[in-house]
Amino acid sequence: MTTATAGRALVLNDAQRLAWLRLIRSENVGPRTFRQLLNHFGSAENALKALPELSKRGGKAAYKVCPTDRAEAELEAARRFGARIVALGEPDYPPNLRRIDAPPPLLTLKGPLNASSPRTIAIIGARNCSLAGSKLATTFAEELGRHGYVIVSGLARGIDTAAHKASLRTGSIAVFAGGIDVIYPHENRVLVSHLMDESGLLATEMPTGLKPRARDFPRRNRLISGMSLGVLVIEAASRSGSLHTARFALEQNREVFAVPGSPLDPRSEGANRLIQQGAALTIDADDILQVLETQNQLSLTTQFDEPMESTPNDIPYNELTQDNRQRLLYALGPTPTDVDELLRFLEIPAPALQIMLLELELAGRLERHRGNKVSLVG
């Protein structure tokens, strides 16, 4: 059985990769749920078998497990497009992304650049950037690239595009909100071609063929910051997606850098606010390099333990009673509640509580929040 320990890379076989893909594409299964299911049932295949019954006990009789043929079709579509589907813990999985809370269990990657380098910095900003903003993005990307950093961005118009173009030869990762084969915006298809010809990489956690929706861009932004040691913001309006990425960076314990701008330009309002709130005021690439040197050394030497397929946990079925399920429902509400507090309040074994939470989540009745908190939906 495949396992992963510190310093030892995971390699899934074909059957395991298919099972992982089916599990993460099944109804109400996200990265956190995926990890819980793998921990409890030992393998994705075992978890898939358990999903319908878990959902039924949570109150949802008609549960949609991802069909085998749909997952096989996604694997084949990725292969035809020249992409590869990489699992958390495998050598080509971005190392910085492994260190965030609930990393995606699978990523689809395409391009000549190997994603294993930890020396990465995100450059993001306004789509309708100024000429000065575009020049700054170009200058920062070129200088950081010369110092061995791979640039991460979201392929959007404006600052993202300038950063990608300036880092074609030194390394550039474009993170998609949709499928790996759906270039957005369409006008950047030539840029994507250059990324594939030079030293670039396309990355997404979404299925092939999926057109990006508004709700998918925050997920993409979380990956942009998660892949990076730090995030540089150049021109951002007060409610821009760049500020969401900066917020994710702070939650992921990443450095946030911001280039100041004129208070008369709305495109600078967001970056200026970030500086007020503690982001590093950044004038040139040296400001970033000085901060990241220590982080780089730690990232290059730290080993990681991955939650992988293993022996299933013992489940205390005698505690999975309707009375305990009802007590859990009474204890929960719309306000996020700490799972450890629930454990102390209910006085039941932790594996039993986790199974009951999984039941509710798979039934669409539970939402997980950062900080190990949960709440009832509806």
Per-residue pLDDT, averaged over 152-178, amounts to 97
What pLDDT, on a 0 to 100 scale, did the predictor assign at position 6?
A: 41
Do residues 124 and 18 share a domain? no
For 266, which DSSP code?
A: G
Question: Three-state DSSP class for 87?
Answer: strand
At what angle are helices 44-57 and 14-24 packed, to 10 degrees?
20
Total tally of structural domains belonging to the chain:
3
Instruction: Out of 274, 301, 328, pick the residue that ends a domain.
Output: 301
Do residues 119 and 258 share a domain? yes
pLDDT one-digit tens code per residue, 45-62? 999 999 999 999 999 989
pLDDT one-digit tens code per residue, 227-272? 999 999 999 998 889 999 999 999 999 999 999 999 999 999 999 9
Do residues 266 and 363 share a domain? no
What pLDDT, on a 0 to 100 scale, did the predictor assign at position 119?
A: 94
In a domain, 102, yes or no: no
Pairing type for strands 255-259 and 337-338 reads unpaired
In a domain, 92, yes or no: no
Tell me the CA distances in angstroms from 20 to 211, 241, 339, one per residue in order.
22, 30, 26
Handedness of CA 118, 214, 44, 102 (dihedral sign): positive
Q: What is the CATH number of the domain that holds 330?
A: 1.10.10.10
The whole domain housing 260 covers 109-301
pLDDT one-digit tens code per residue, 61-117? 899 999 999 999 999 999 999 999 999 999 999 999 999 989 999 999 999 999 888
The CA distance from 151 to 186, in Å, is 21
Asked if the model's pLDDT at residue 297 lies above 90, the reply is: no
